[in-house]
C-alpha cells in the first residue's frame, strides 16, 4: 500500500511585503512512498526537503499539484492523527518537564490520558531520557532535546513518521540508539520519511532515496541503484608496476590507472579481470590484495548535484 504519493507538487513562496520576488521551493515533485519503507530525502540546503514535508503535513499550502497521504487528501486532519513529526528546529515549553511535554503533545494528539501516562514513560525510557523525565526541558542539552523530539513524534504511535535531521546534535552512541529505534519502527511497519544531511546515516537506514535540488527531483531509487556504476577494482601491488607492463596493458586495451603501488582497473566482467591478473602475474608483478571499489552515496550525491549545477 502507498503511504504517500504526490502528483506534480509545486510550491512558490512570495516573501516580502509586496510579494514581488518568487522563490520556487518545489517544482512539480512526483513521488511515491510505500508503506513500511524508510525513505530518504536528500538535497543541499534550500533544495525543498523541509517544504515537501511541511506540505505533506499541511503546514505549507502547495501552489499547484496534489497529494494523497495515508489514503487521505492533503489538508485532512486525519493525516496528522496518524503521523508524527520531528522538525529540524524544535522548541518545547521550557517550564515543562520531559514527561509533561509528552503528556501535552499526547493530549493534543488525542491519546487517552490513562494510556498516555504509560506510553510517555515507555518512550522516555526508549529514547534514554527516563532519568531526566522530571527535569525542565529548558535545562536539557541539544542531544536530549533531540531525543525528546523523537519521543513526542512517536507519542501517537504514528503510521507515518517525518524526521528532519533526527540525529542533529546527538553523540555517536546516541545516533546508533536512534538508528536502532528507527529500524525497530520499520519492523513494526511504520513508514519513515528521513531528511538528513548525514549521508552515511541515510545509507545505513534507507530503503529508497530521492535527491532533490532547487525543488526538482534529480534521482529516485534504492541506495544500490544510486551508487551503481561500472565496476572498478583496486589492486594493491607489492611494488609499483614497471612502465613497460603499464604500456603493455594499455596496448591490450585494459583501462588501468596506476598510482604508486595501486592499480585501478575498470573492467567489463570477471573474465577480463582474470585476464588482467594473469598478465600481471606472467610479468612477475606481485599482487598484495584486490577488491571492488565502491561508490559511496556521498560521492554519487556530490557528483549529481555538481553535474546539475554545471548544467
Contacts of 255-263 with C-beta under 8 Å, sequence gap 24+, read: 261/236, 261/237, 261/288, 262/234, 262/235, 262/236, 262/237, 263/234, 263/235, 263/237
For helices 142-154 and 113-126, give the axis angle rounded to 10 degrees.
Answer: 140
Reported in sequence order, the residue ranges of the chain that DSSP labels E, i.e. its strands, are 2-13, 23-34, 38-42, 64-69, 72-73, 83-86, 160-164, 191-195, 208-213, 216-222, 232-237, 255-259, 262-266, 287-293
**In angstroms, rounded to a whole number, what is the distance separating the alpha carbons of residues 252 and 62?**
58
Least Å distance between CB 197 and other proteins? 18
Minimum distance from residue 193 beta carbon to other proteins (Å): 13
Query: At closest approach, how far in Å is the CB of 268 from other proteins?
Result: 51
Provide Rg for the chain, Cα atoms: 25
In angstroms, what is the minimal distance from the CB of 35 to other proteins?
A: 19
Tell me the closest approach of the beta carbon of residue 80 to other proteins, in angstroms: 4
Q: Which is nearer to other proteins, 90 or 219 (CB)?
A: 90
Residue among 190 and 300 whose Cβ is closer to other proteins: 190
**Minimum distance, C-beta of residue 96 to other proteins, in the bound complex (Å):** 8
Q: Which is nearer to other proteins, 127 or 276 (CB)?
A: 127
Residue closer to other proteins, measured from CB, 112 or 242? 112
Cβ atoms of 49 and 215 closer than 8 Å: no
Contact in structure between 231 and 271 (CB atoms under 8 Å): no
| Min separation Cβ 146 and other proteins, Å | 12
Nearer to other proteins, 61 or 281 (CB): 61
Residue 309: exposure state from Cβ atoms within 10 A (0-12, 13-18, ≥19): exposed
Binding site for other proteins (CB under 8 A): 13, 54, 57-61, 77-78, 80-81, 83-85, 87, 89-93, 95-96, 104-105, 107-110, 152, 162
Report d(CA 27, CA 201) in Å as an integer.
27
- Closest to other proteins by CB, 81 vs 272, is 81
CB nearer other proteins, residue 25 or residue 276 = 25
Query: Closest Cα partner for 37 from 193, 175, 226?
Result: 193
**CB neighbour list of residue 96: distance below 8 Å, 6 or more residues apart:** 104, 136, 137
Q: Which C-beta is closer to other proteins: that of 96 or that of 204? A: 96
Nearest approach, Cβ of residue 91 and other proteins (Å): 4
Amino acid at each position: 500500500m502507498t503511504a504517500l504519493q504526490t502528483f506534480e507538487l509545486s510550491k512558490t513562496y512570495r516573501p516580502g511585503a509586496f510579494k514581488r520576488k518568487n522563490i520556487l521551493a518545489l517544482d512539480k515533485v512526483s513521488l511515491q512512498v510505500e508503506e513500511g519503507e524508510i525513505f530518504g530525502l536528500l538535497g543541499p540546503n534550500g533544495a525543498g526537503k523541509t517544504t515537501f514535508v511541511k506540505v505533506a503535513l499541511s503546514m505549507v499550502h502547495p501552489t499547484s499539484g496534489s497529494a494523497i497521504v495515508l489514503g487521505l487528501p492533503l489538508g485532512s486532519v486525519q493525516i496528522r492523527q496518524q503521523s508524527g513529526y520531528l522538525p529540524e528546529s524544535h522548541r518545547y515549553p521550557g517550564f515543562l518537564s520531559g514527561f509533561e511535554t509528552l503528556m501535552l503533545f499526547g493530549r493534543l494528539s488525542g491519546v487517552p490520558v490513562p494510556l498516555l501516562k504509560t506510553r510517555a514513560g515507555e518512550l522516555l525510557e526508549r529514547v534514554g531520557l527516563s532519568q531526566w523525565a522530571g527535569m525542565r526541558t529548558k535545562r536539557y542539552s541539544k542531544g536530549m532535546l533531540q531525543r525528546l523530539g523523537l519521543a513526542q513524534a512517536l507519542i501517537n504511535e504514528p503510521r507515518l513518521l517525518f524526521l528532519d535531521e533526527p540525529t542533529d546534535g546527538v553523540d555517536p552512541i546516541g545516533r546508533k540508539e536512534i538508528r536502532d529505534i528507527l529500524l525497530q519502527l520499520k519492523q513494526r511497519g511504520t513508514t519513515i520519511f528521513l531528511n538528513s544531511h548525514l549521508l552515511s546515516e541515510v545509507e545505513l537506514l534507507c530503503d529508497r532515496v530521492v535527491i532533490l535540488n532547487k525543488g526538482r527531483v534529480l534521482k529516485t531509487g534504492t541506495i544500490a541503484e544510486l551508487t551503481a556504476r561500472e565496476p572498478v577494482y583496486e589492486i594493491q601491488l607489492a611494488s609499483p608496476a614497471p612502465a613497460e607492463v603499464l604500456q603493455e596493458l594499455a596496448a591490450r586495451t585494459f583501462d588501468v590507472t596506476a598510482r604508486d603501488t595501486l592499480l585501478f582497473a575498470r573492467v567489463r566482467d570477471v573474465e577480463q579481470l582474470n585476464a588482467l591478473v594473469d598478465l600481471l602475474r606472467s610479468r612477475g608483478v606481485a599482487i598484495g590484495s584486490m577488491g571492488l571499489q565502491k561508490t559511496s552515496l556521498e560521492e554519487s550525491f556530490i557528483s549529481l548535484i555538481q553535474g546539475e549545477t554545471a548544467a
